[in-house]
Amino acid sequence: MERAGRLISGLLCWLIAMSISAFGIKGVILSGGSTVQTGSNHISSVSERRFENIRQFSGSRICNLPAENQTERKMLVPGGTPFGIKLRTDGVMVVSVNKGSPADRAGIKPGDMISSVNGVPVQTNSGIAEAVQLSPSECAIVVSRGSSEKCIRLVPEAASGQYRIGTWVRDSAAGIGTLTYFDPATGSFGGLGHPVSDVTTGELMPISSGEITNAEIFSVMKGCDGEAGELCGDLCPGILGKLSANTPVGIFGTMNSEPTGSAIPMAFRDEAECGPAVILATIEGCEPQEYTIEIEKINMYAISGTKSMVIRVTDERLISEAGGIVRGMSGSPIIQNGMLVGAVTHVFLNDPTRGYAVFAQTMMEQMDEVSNAAAAGGYILWAVIQKFCNLIQ
């Protein structure tokens, strides 16, 4: 009897630990939000489709905060190279809901993530369709909305010989982005400087798996006042690495091999200065070029976001060929005083020579947070398994 009680207790602990671990990891990866353009062939502007007029700040900084407790300075290989992104969502995202449909009447909304239908986990559009056909009398659909999850019951409608619930959904995204840095100490990379979000809903796309590939830029659509330009390119064969996290300040993962280039120090936030700097960007082919910019404003109140710096392109080559910043440059590393200080994130629609940038330290902190959460989850799972094995011995 005592042994049975210990076994039940162990199982309960296992279930609790697994719930805590999964919630913690998912919270790290999916927290926050931003807007991103996605497409069948390119992600290019990623968060740059939603443009904002610049808010003018007085002075070179919003405020001068005390220097941070700096314990470690990372050495990173700056990127600037284009790379292909293939992302599969964790569940299936609802893009739109037909008015008056079963889904609409049941309360399903755009941005909801469908994880299962009638107890069957679904990861693809076809998976939902197949599950609905198997239960035409009633479907129990589990959806996540923000941090909450609930089960919605509805009766599908017959249309053209098929049963439908009345939603348009998306299960993946593919496109081209820009590599920001590679960490030779861990084999990890960071890119884009903002999340990959659904082009229709604007919601961050939770990731289940993904890869990065080689990519090549073959042309650039020049930006002008009132209209943003865009890099045009193709994904190339060959897997460069694994994509593991889509976060509010960039995408992260591991690369199969170290890219060419020398590592330089990562700048801490308080080391960024208003003044000259350069970006590494690719507007043709696969090799990045160095272009001059000016860091005009630094917003220390936005240290955890994608709009921490205001930058302006001063290089006449980039202005002549691209008009300034274009969709697809998101993630282009910013180098100042020999250090990696940040990455390009947005372009101003009314002035393509100017845009926003995120601190490199912010991206590194997010990457470390994701890595630590994954490691903690793995340790908890290992510890629970060990405990369970000890109980049944």
Place of tokens 């490199």: 360
Exactly one of 330, 332, 346, 351 is catalytic; name it: 330
Exactly one of 101, 144, 194, 198 is catalytic; name it: 194
Distance separating alpha carbons of residues 244 and 306, to the nearest angstrom: 20
Q: How far apart are the first and last CA of the chain?
A: 15
Active site residue 42: no
Q: Concatenated DSSP letters for 33-66? A: ------BSS--TTGGGGS--PPPP-SSSBS--PP
Active site residue 194: yes
SS3 71: coil
Residues 6+ apart with CB under 8 A from 290: 278, 279, 280
Q: Concatenated DSSP letters for 271-332? A: G--SEEEEEEE-SSBS--EEEEEEEEEE-GGGTTSS-SEEEEE--HHHHHHHSSS-BT-TT-
Instruction: Find the Cα–Cα–Cα–Cα dihedral 281, 216, 34, 357, rounded to 10°.
Output: 0
Exactly one of 315, 332, 346, 351 is catalytic; name it: 315
Residue-wise over 316-330: b if at least 16 C-beta within 10 A, else e? eebbebbbbbbbbbb
SS3 117: strand
| Cα four-point dihedral sign 317, 319, 325, 328 | negative
Residues 6+ apart with CB under 8 A from 200: 95, 96, 110, 170
| DSSP symbol at 197 | B
| Cα four-point dihedral sign 377, 378, 382, 385 | positive
| Cα four-point dihedral sign 107, 110, 115, 117 | positive
Active site residue 104: no
Question: Which residues are marked as active site?
Answer: 194, 315, 330
